[in-house]
């Protein structure tokens, strides 16, 4: 019975993974493989349900995250910076294994050094001492990104209550955090190390959410005020962001599909 | 001989003229940013600021091109009347959205970092919006349409790698798709946004 259930779950996940469809003939030119990758459209499989959950999350944001984020903004800048630094430092325990899994050994080395220096000299990461020594902060990596770099497609896009937008691939990636892939989760919740409480993990996650929201208060307001379909805008931004992070590129041209622009001639 | 020399001089002058009239994309962005900064930090009423910002946009942004891009595959389905109506609605929508996004900033400090020519038609100008007490540093890339080098135009803003034009395109597509592919619903949404 258990075996059958496992097979059914795997089949459903596999089905969802292959639901990505290619956009039709929006443009005319096949620029290159990266452009083709960009033109692939991610299917929003349960849009009606997703829109409902999105509305629920918006309500939650209005009564909880936004007011908290506004309050957080009143804290002195050094406290906010220290909190942000400590959370960034903590995220290295997920970034470093993913650097290795993606073959980014140099980045893994830099992040490991940064983590060691900032955890000790930087007092639990509150001060970014490593940057002072020339070890600048690098991009974060997660298991969803690693699966992406290994060639796994996004699968369906969907919205989770509280957690927000995701895809099947990113959800599978997140599950890796709870099955040994996140050292912070392991020492706080998975194992009884006596040094940390379960609540330490939840507080850190919650604070990370509020910190992110506080940094983006104006951007979110602007998006809300200027969108005719906020759900579609957030979906687009989420998927663009994930693609960019998987490509690990700051090159604008590599994350854009130029096909449509090439067709439009106004000069 | 004299005739050949005159022709050569004339040719040289016209060539030099062309070179001097061509506007560098990064210079265009610096100018726009400076103009916007002066307007936003002025004591003018919001309405006046909006009018001035819209003038900058009309002069330097390829609003028609962006409008066509954001329609995606649906632009091929429009008849002439619909095309005229859409262009008019999109322009109003764009200017309202553009100025309302900017007017919240009191004095943004944007520095041009570099530029990269993609091809004859496009150059990307990389800029940084300086960190403030409220906001972190933000990377903004400007996609400049340079087919006519004398009059480069902005076609897209890419904020931290996220394209505003692309986001808008997917938003429009969602509105049309969720209304059985009827473009009139997009027109209705645009009208509602404009009068909001």
Local confidence band at A41 (pLDDT 50, 70, 90 cut-offs): confident
Q: What is the CATH number of the domain that holds B103?
A: 3.10.450.710
Indicate if the pLDDT at residue A144 is higher than 90. yes
Q: Is the pTM above the cut of 0.90?
A: no
**Residue A189, in any domain of the structure:** yes
- Per-position pLDDT tens, chain B of length 196: 555 565 565 555 554 444 445 678 889 999 988 888 888 888 888 888 889 989 999 999 999 999 999 998 898 899 999 999 999 999 999 999 888 877 777 777 889 999 998 888 889 999 998 887 777 788 889 999 998 888 899 999 898 888 899 999 999 999 999 999 999 999 999 999 999 8
From A4-8, A196-200, A227-231, the region with the lowest mean pLDDT? A4-8
Please, what's the b/e burial string for A39-48 (b: 16 or more CB within 10 A of its CB; e: otherwise)? bebbbbeebe
The answer to whether position A266 is within a domain reads no
- Least Cα distance to A234 among B4, B154, B170 occurs for B170
Alpha-carbon span A161 to A49, nearest angstrom: 11
Integer Cα distance of B162 and A238 in angstroms: 9
The pLDDT of residue A252: 55
Degrees (nearest 5) of the Cα angle B2, B8, B14? 135
- The burial class, CB within 10 Å (0-12 / 13-18 / 19+), for B63 is buried
Residue B42 Rama label (left phi>0; alpha psi -120 to 50; beta): beta
pLDDT at B149: 86
pLDDT, residue A262, reads 67
pLDDT of the residue at A39? 54
Selected for mutation to probe chain A from B69, B159, B163 (highest A CB count within 10 Å) is B163
Bigger pLDDT: B63 vs A253:
B63
- Taking a C-beta distance cutoff of 8 angstroms, is the pair B155, B69 a contact? yes
The per-residue pLDDT for B13 is 54
Domain assignment of residue B9, yes or no: no
Is A267 within a domain?
Answer: no
Q: Backbone dihedral region of A108: left (phi > 0), alpha (psi from -120 to 50 degrees) or beta?
A: alpha
List the single residue in A25, A225, A256 with the smallest CB-CB distance to B163: A256
- Measured between beta carbons, the chain A residues lying within 8 angstroms of B124 are 252-253
For residue A27, the Cα-to-chain-centroid distance in whole angstroms is 29
b/e A136-154 (16+ beta carbons within 10 angstroms → b):
ebbeebbbbbbbbbeebbb
Looking at residue B152, its pLDDT comes to 92
Residue B108 counted as domain residue? yes
pLDDT given for residue A137 in this prediction = 93
* Number of structural domains chain A divides into: 1
d(CA A220, CA A170): 23
> To 10 degrees, the CA torsion angle through B61, B65, B69, B74?
140
Q: Domain for residue A70, yes or no? A: yes
Q: Is residue B19 included in any domain, yes or no? A: no
Which residue, among A44, A90, A38, A97, has the nearest Cα to A196 in the 3D structure? A90
| Contact residues of B toward A, CB < 8 A | 62, 64-65, 68-69, 72-73, 97, 100-101, 104, 116, 118, 121-122, 124, 133-136, 139, 141, 143, 145, 147-148, 151, 153, 155, 158, 161-163, 166-167, 169-171, 173-175, 189-190, 192-193
- The verdict on A48 touching B (C-beta cutoff 8 Å) is no
Chain A: closest CA distance from residue B2 (Å): 38
According to the model, what pLDDT value does residue B12 have?
54
In which domain, by residue range, is B33 found? Answer: 27-195
SS3 (DSSP) at B104: coil
Among candidates B69, B153, B171 on the partner chain, residue whose Cβ is nearest the Cβ of A261: B69
Question: Would residue A265 count as lying in a domain?
Answer: no
Residue B37: the pLDDT is: 86
Q: Give chain A's mean pLDDT.
A: 84
Q: What are A57's strand-pairing partners?
A: none
Tell me if B175 is assigned to some domain.
yes
Distance from C-alpha of B135 to C-alpha of A125, rounded to nearest angstrom = 21
Mind listing the pLDDT tens digit for each residue in A76-99? 999 999 999 999 999 999 999 999
Total of domains in chain B: 1
A31 in a domain, yes or no? yes
A217 contacts in chain B (CB < 8 Å):
134
Residues in A closer than 8 angstroms to B116, CB to CB, are 253
Q: Supply the range of the domain harboring residue A214.
A: 2-260
Question: How close is the nearest chain B Cα to the Cα of A8, in Å?
Answer: 31
Question: Among A126-135, A162-171, B120-129, which is the least confidently predicted range?
Answer: B120-129
pLDDT of residue B2: 57
Task: Using alpha carbons, list the distances in angstroms from residue A160 to A15, A55, A165.
Answer: 19, 11, 6
Domain assignment present for residue B7? The answer is no
- pLDDT surpassing 50 at residue A10: no
Confidence of residue A19 (pLDDT cuts 50, 70, 90): very low
Predicted confidence at residue B5, as pLDDT, reads 63
C-alpha triplet A36, A40, A42: angle, nearest 5°:
160
Best CA proximity match to A206, nearest among A78, A91, A88, A65: A65
Q: What is the mean pLDDT of residues A58-87?
A: 94
A77 inside 8 A of chain B by CB: yes
* pLDDT attached to residue A127: 96
């Amino acid at each position: 019975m258990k075996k059958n259930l496992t097979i059914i779950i795997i089949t459903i996940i596999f089905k969802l993974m292959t639901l990505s469809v290619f956009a039709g003939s929006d443009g005319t030119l096949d620029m290159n493989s990266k452009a083709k990758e960009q033109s692939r459209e991610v299917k929003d499989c349960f849009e009606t349900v997703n829109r409902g959950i999105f509305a629920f999350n918006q309500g939650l944001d209005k009564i909880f995250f936004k007011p908290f984020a506004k309050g957080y903004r009143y804290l002195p800048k050094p406290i906010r910076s220290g909190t942000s630094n400590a959370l960034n430092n903590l995220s290295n325990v997920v970034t470093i294994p993913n650097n290795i899994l993606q073959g980014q050994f140099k980045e893994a080395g830099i992040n490991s050094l940064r983590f060691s220096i900032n955890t000790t000299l930087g007092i639990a990461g509150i001060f970014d001492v490593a940057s002072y020594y020339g070890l600048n902060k690098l991009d974060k990596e997660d298991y969803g990104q690693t699966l992406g770099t290994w060639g796994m497609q996004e699968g369906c896009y969907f919205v989770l209550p509280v957690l927000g937008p995701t895809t099947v691939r990113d959800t599978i990636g997140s599950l890796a955090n709870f099955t040994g892939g996140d050292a912070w989760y392991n020492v706080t919740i998975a194992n009884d190390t006596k040094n940390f409480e379960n609540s330490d993990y939840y507080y850190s996650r919650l604070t990370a959410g509020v910190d992110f929201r506080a940094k983006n208060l104006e951007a979110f307001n602007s998006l809300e005020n200027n969108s005719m379909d906020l759900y579609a805008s957030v979906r687009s931004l989420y998927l663009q962001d994930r693609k960019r992070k998987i490509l690990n590129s700051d090159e604008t041209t590599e994350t854009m599909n130029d096909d449509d622009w090439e067709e439009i001639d106004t000069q | 001989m004299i005739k050949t020399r005159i022709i050569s001089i004339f040719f040289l002058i016209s060539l030099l003229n062309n070179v001097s009239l061509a506007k560098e994309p990064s210079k265009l962005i610096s100018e726009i940013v400076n103009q916007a900064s002066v307007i936003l930090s002025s004591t003018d009423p919001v309405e006046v600021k909006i009018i001035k910002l819209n003038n900058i946009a009309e002069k330097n942004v390829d609003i028609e091109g962006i409008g066509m891009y954001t329609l995606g595959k649906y632009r091929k389905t429009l008849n002439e009347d619909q095309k005229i109506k859409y262009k008019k609605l999109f322009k109003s929508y764009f200017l309202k959205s553009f100025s309302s996004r900017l007017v919240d900033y009191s004095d943004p400090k944007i520095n041009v970092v570099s530029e990269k020519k993609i091809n004859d038609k496009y150059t990307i100008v990389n800029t940084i919006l300086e960190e403030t007490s409220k906001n972190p540093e933000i990377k903004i890339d400007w996609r400049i349409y340079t087919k006519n080098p004398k009059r480069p135009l902005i076609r897209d803003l890419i904020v931290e790698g996220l394209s505003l034009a692309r986001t808008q395109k997917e938003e429009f597509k969602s509105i049309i798709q969720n209304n059985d592919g009827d473009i009139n619903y997009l027109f209705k949404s645009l009208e509602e946004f404009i009068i909001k």
